[in-house]
Amino acid sequence: MAHGTRLRALVLTALAVVLAGCADDPQPETPTSQEPTDPGTGQTVEPTDAPLEWRPTGHPTEQRVVMGTTWSAVVAPGGSSVTLTDGEAETVVAAGAGRQVAEVLLDDAWAVLVMQDRTEQRPSHAVTVDLATGEQRDVVTPEPANGGSWAMHDGNLYYPTWGEGRAWCLATLALKDSNGEEAWCAPPRTGWSGLTASAAGVAMMTFDDARPVACRTVALLDATSRPEPLDGPDPCTAWDVAATDDGAVWSSVPRPRRQEEAELHAVADGTTYDLGPGTTGSLLPCGDSVFFARDPQRDGDPARLMRWTPAHTLEVAYESAATGDVFIAEPACAGDVLTLTVLSERGDEQVWATVA
């Protein structure tokens, strides 16, 4: 099995098995008895070539890297530590005994580093770093849950915590003063995952534990941090979601036995657009746009990173030199800088670009 295929299988296993962040929580399931298709309900958008100016990160793909405008974060192999550097100053933050780095969130002002217990028994340990001063603080209240989805934007952190009766709750924290609160808790026997955050808003996927088919719903958070279901996706099929200034972008899984294969859609000013195929788990707001990966659709195709712009156009922002068995790992964004790790039989690469 090729390197890219192996990693894709690992990513999909993580999505399907630990999407809620804890094995005791309700898990979203996809049905196996039917394989509906997604015919699309909006205007079909054809992509145009508009590649960003991609440059090598200078690090091997074995090191997880998040590049920013000034700062970068490099995770040591095995996740034992994170090194933050601006090219002059350097700060190393250790994961700690029995822990590994699970999340790295970075922008021009803050870094948030999430360390997960390797046995998944203890709550996650998160450290915030003020990049202007170097001050480090632990995220204490509300206490982070083990695993789950984290997001950060404009000095605000969003992450999972446990509520009353082991409810799976969303916590918010202002990084400047470490003022945190429990913002919203999922009802009994439900959960949430897939946080995204940008200037346009915060979004998540919620799910229930209905049998034999769990129902997934994508939602945008309102002013009180409560999820409001997005009007547009077919019931129970959505997976990823990101807010935009005039709507949202979301993915749906039309063939439940192929959870990695999604169809992407957008709504803008009340108009729905069909953006074509994409890869589950890759949807990411960055800068003024929303990006998603598209695996090769046939033999001889490259992997591509697609960009939905504020002008309601779909662009090919990156195209791999390799074709066939090639895979774009989950992209990372720091402010308006994207980092990609691309895996293929012909050689891996790790590149970054500014969203212009």
**Domain covering 3-354, topology:** Methylamine Dehydrogenase; Chain H (2.130.10)
- What pLDDT does 212 receive? 67
CA-based angle 281:287:293, to the nearest 5? 30
- What pLDDT does 287 receive? 97
pLDDT category of residue 14 using cuts at 50, 70 and 90: very low
Spatial contact of 71 and 131, defined as CB atoms under 8 Å apart:
yes
Spatial contact of 146 and 162, defined as CB atoms under 8 Å apart:
no
Q: Percentage of the chain surpassing pLDDT 90?
A: 82
Note the pLDDT tens digit of each residue in 252-274: 998 777 878 899 999 999 999 99
- The single residue listed with the structure tokens 């509300």 is 142
For the cut 50, the answer to whether the pLDDT of residue 29 exceeds it is no
237: tokens are 């099929």
- The single residue listed with the structure tokens 């012909």 is 346
pTM over 0.85: yes
Mean residue pLDDT across the chain: 89
- Report the alpha-carbon distance of residue 209 to residue 205 in Å, rounded: 14
Spatial contact of 267 and 261, defined as CB atoms under 8 Å apart:
no
- Report the alpha-carbon distance of residue 233 to residue 217 in Å, rounded: 8
Q: Sort 190 into a burial class: Cβ within 10 Å, 0-12 / 13-18 / 19+.
A: buried
Residue 195 CB coordination number (10 Å): 21
Q: Go through 241-274 and write b for each residue having 16 or more CB atoms within 10 A of its CB, e for each that does not.
A: bbbbeebbbbbbbbbbeebbbbbbbbbbeeebbb
For the cut 90, the answer to whether the pLDDT of residue 198 exceeds it is yes
Spatial contact of 225 and 203, defined as CB atoms under 8 Å apart:
no
Residue 21 to residues 14, 26, 106, 120, 149, Cα–Cα distance (Å): 10, 10, 21, 9, 7
Question: Could you tell me which residues are beta bridge partners of residue 197?
Answer: 202
What lies within 8 Å, CB to CB, of 95 at 6+ separation is 79, 80, 81, 82, 101, 115
For the cut 90, the answer to whether the pLDDT of residue 333 exceeds it is yes
For the cut 90, the answer to whether the pLDDT of residue 49 exceeds it is yes
Spatial contact of 269 and 282, defined as CB atoms under 8 Å apart:
no
> Measured in whole angstroms, how far is the alpha carbon of residue 177 from the centre of its chain?
26
132: tokens are 């202007």
